Structure 1
Amino acid sequence: MATSVKVPANFNAESDANILKKAMKGLGTDEESIINILGHRSNAQRQEIKKVYHTLFGKALVKELKSELGGNFENVILALMVPPAEYDADELKRAMKGIGTDEDRLIEILCSRTNDELRAINRAYESKYKTVLEKDIKSETSGDFKRLLVSLLTCGRQENNNIDLQKAETDAKRLYEAGENMWGTDEAVFNSILVLQSYPQLRAVFDMYSNIAKKDIEDSIKSEMSGDLKAGMLAVVRIVKNKAAFFAKKLYDSMKGLGTDDDDLIRIIVSRSEKDMDEIKKEFQRLYGKTLEDFIKGDTSGDYKNILLALIS
């Protein structure tokens, strides 16, 4: 995976901590220095800077940043200071907080993370919120959609690269018999195959399915399912086919039309900047004929724009 954040070879946490302290000293704040440091360090390096800052100055860096910054710029900076698993856990908690549930956020995070990432999220969630993530998911969702998310949380997806073509054909037939070739839909069959098989194996299943059903698996899901379950199943399929394209579309959707969905924009850029942002940028340009940088420049401004550009540069 090609990351976007380019970290310095001569990283020095003490030097960075001193620069950040100077940037927040006295009247006004040197936002450019904050961007130059925090926008060009890995998350692990930011955690080291936090520790050193506290040791040097006896103050919590995050608290200092919070008192100096504001708006979406502050939101990005604070998000960057959280370890990835804890950040995902926080975002899942936010999705379930208060009246109503942000199903799209649940789908995006739970459908796109690896087994190891999901295990880390489970641990971070329980550690921070003193409850089990699966329990909260069960209380906030229902039916086949609940079963899909709970199945993903068990971290049982196979992760080898071996492809069994005979099994792929068998599973493709099972999917066809469970949907297009029957009255109604057996969602449990879709769930068991889409959640358990490895990405390479599922790509083979989807190819076989197209030959058998004479239509793409996405089209079958659209016609056979509805609501949150349809959205969740489509997300799994699209992530399996091309994860970078899935996130490129999410970024595009956050910025298209009037207004910007800053929550989505920030979350995706922060969470993908060290994973696959270079691939996402390529897919974005392929799909929309314009660079992600140009879209961000047109939809954001000031320090908020500059920190986002630093994270994808």
Structure 2
Amino acid sequence: MSYPGYPPSGGYPAFPGYPPTGQESVYPPAGQYSYPPVPGGYPPAGGGGTYPAAPPSAGYAGAAGYPAPGGYPGAPQAGGMPPYSGGPGFGVPPAGPGFGGYPQPPAQSYAGGGPAQMPGYPSGQAPSPMPGQPAAMVQCTQGTIQAAPNFDAGRDAEILRKAMKGFGTDEQAIINVVANRSNDQRQKIKAAFKTMYGKDLIKDLKSELSGNVEELILALFMPSTYYDAWSLRHAMKGVGTQERVLIEILCTRTNQEIREIVNCYKSEFGRDIEQDIRADTSGHFERLLISMCQGNRDENQTVDYQKAQEDAQRLYQAGEGKLGTDESCFNMVLASRSFPQLKATVEAYSRIANRDLLSSIDREFSGNVERGLKAILQCALNRPAFFAERLYYSMKGAGTDDSTLIRIIVTRSEIDLVQIKQMFSQMYQKTLATMIASDTSGDYRRLLLAIVGQ
């Protein structure tokens, strides 16, 4: 796979200040997975802590090892699911069953199962299903950047040329174009610019811009797959490894995205990503990342509740139920099951262990493998909340982790940034735009806010 103009002759220049020192924590695309509707709702209305009744043909209501509602030790009764505390981050979940305070996705997040007006969609419209995917299982996600109507690549190329020609730079004109075009449209602008002026748009932008606004605009002009591959390469290049970048990308992508990233990494950088991971990581964390690189996660959206029960029991016996931890069991389940299936497993686990699975991973693991396993589960439970947390901590406290902030805003801008903004406000009692405005300045702030939308 090749991306025209990437890297430019002489190689793609490093972004200023990248890799950043100190913390590093983000993630790019596709929030397609969430918990599919179950007839009668899941859990039943008013019964936050009970399993849904199964149709007799399923045979699992009190049969085949599937306990009846309330049949687990310490299982919560109706209304027993603890409410989200509203505190920052996910932290160590409170004791007892449930999802450890992890905020639930916006209500009615599925086409066919929600109210007439779905968040972010006009007149209740929902996205079209992928081929072979039931319409009722398409999650309503939406980016803040949409493809511009009446798009004219040549006209945009001319606007950018005028903005950079002569003395000074019209940064606002550049912002107006790049913040309101899809990534595919930006690639067309880049090609039109070279055709019309015989010059490389990326090189011209670099000569006119600097600092964080340069990094942000160059990221916007990278093809999405290349940006992920580039981020992974720079996370492992040179002294030290930015493990959080590896977790963010490899633990959150769809199978197709993973495979495209692996191929791009090979074609653009001439390197095998598995070999680089083995050279830069070790132990159970290395094995988890290698598993992620295969792009073989089950993506069947149908939940097998019997398997969820069996997996939950298996995880309990591999961790809380024994002295020591069988790390390979956690790797196998979390690396191979679909996200909807993992969400059902989390629910079942809380009833078996009288503790949620995120809390058990806190107790059984540490370091990067703990962060990787939790990232997978958090995405299964509520992907927008997962990215909202990363954004919050990129700006919290002294200084700003600009590379993390840029990476999340850019990679989620066409996928689910609308939902991320909603979760951010719910979790931190302030808007994402407010926090960005207080932590950034100048053209950098104006471009970020233009992407995020007010």
Q: Fold-level match, TM-score > 0.5?
A: yes
Q: Deviation string for 1:133-182 (max 9, x for gaps)?
A: 11111111101100000001101101111111111100000000000000
Q: Distance in 2 between matches of 1:307 and 1:135?
A: 37
Q: Does 1:273 align with 2:413?
A: yes
Which letter maps to 2:193?
Y
- CA distance in structure 1 between the aligned counterparts of 2:258 and 2:441, rounded to whole angstroms: 34
* Counterpart Cα distance in 2 of 1:165 and 1:251: 33
1:43 aligns with 2:183: yes
Q: Does 1:109 align with 2:237?
A: no
Q: Displacement of 1:8 after TM fit?
A: 2.0
Measure how far apart 1:293 and its partner are: 0.4
Partner of residue 8, structure 1: 148
Q: Deviations over 1:79-102 (max 9, x none)?
A: 111001110111111111111111
Is the CA contact (8 Å cut-off) linking 2:148 and 2:182 kept in structure 1?
A: no
Structure 2 counterpart of 1:180, from 315, 320, 343? 320
- The CA distance in 2 between the partners of 1:196 and 1:76, in whole Å, is 34
Q: Aligned equivalents of 1:6 and 1:230: distance in 2? A: 36
2: distance between equivalents of 1:211 and 1:169? 10
Indicate if the aligned counterparts of 2:277 and 2:289 stay in contact, CA closer than 8 A.
yes
Equivalent AA in structure 2 for residue 165 of structure 1: Y
| CA distance in 2: counterparts of 1:164 and 1:271, whole angstroms | 31
Would you say 1:21 and 2:161 are equivalent positions? yes
- The amino acid across from 1:188 in the alignment is S
What amino acid is aligned across from residue 384 of structure 2 in structure 1?
A: A
- Could you tell me which runs of 5 or more consecutive residues in structure 1 were left unpaired when the two chains were aligned: none
For the aligned residues, what is the CA RMSD? 0.7
Counterpart Cα distance in 1 of 2:375 and 2:159: 42
1:125 counterpart letter in structure 2: Y
Q: Which moved more, 1:93-102 or 1:285-294?
A: 93-102
SS for the counterpart of 2:399 is coil
**Normalising by structure 2, what TM-score?**
0.68
Residue of structure 1 in register with 2:85 after alignment: none
Pair 1:171 & 2:171 matched: no
Query: 2: distance between equivalents of 1:140 and 1:54?
Result: 38
> Which of 254, 270, 286 does residue 146 from structure 1 map onto?
286
State the match for 1:223 in structure 2.
363
Structure 1 counterpart of 2:175, one-letter code? I
- Give every structure 1 segment of 4 or more consecutive aligned residues whose post-TM-superposition deviation is greater than 6 Å: none
Indicate the residue corresponding to 1:248 in structure 2. 388
Rounded Cα–Cα distance in structure 2 between residues aligned with 1:6 and 1:28: 30
Counterpart check, 1:295 vs 2:435: yes
Summarize deviations over 1:238-282 as a string: whole Å, max 9, x none: 111111001000000000111101010011111111111001000
The one of 397, 402, 407 equivalent to 1:257 is: 397
Q: Secondary structure at the match of 1:184?
A: coil
Structure 1 position 64 matched with structure 2 position 204 = yes
Indicate whether 1:160 and 2:300 are aligned: yes
Question: Which residue of 61, 85, 93 corresponds with 2:233?
Answer: 93
More contact order relative to length (CA 8 Å, sep ≥ 6): 2
Structure 2: segments with no counterpart, 5+ residues: 1-140
Question: Which structure carries more helix by proportion?
Answer: 1
SS at match of 2:340: helix
Structure of higher CA gyration radius = 2
8 Å CA contact 2:319, 2:325 repeated in 1: yes
d(CA) in 2 for partners of 1:221, 1:199: 17
Q: Separation in 1 of the partners of 2:436 and 2:147?
A: 22
Q: Counterpart amino acid of 2:152? A: N
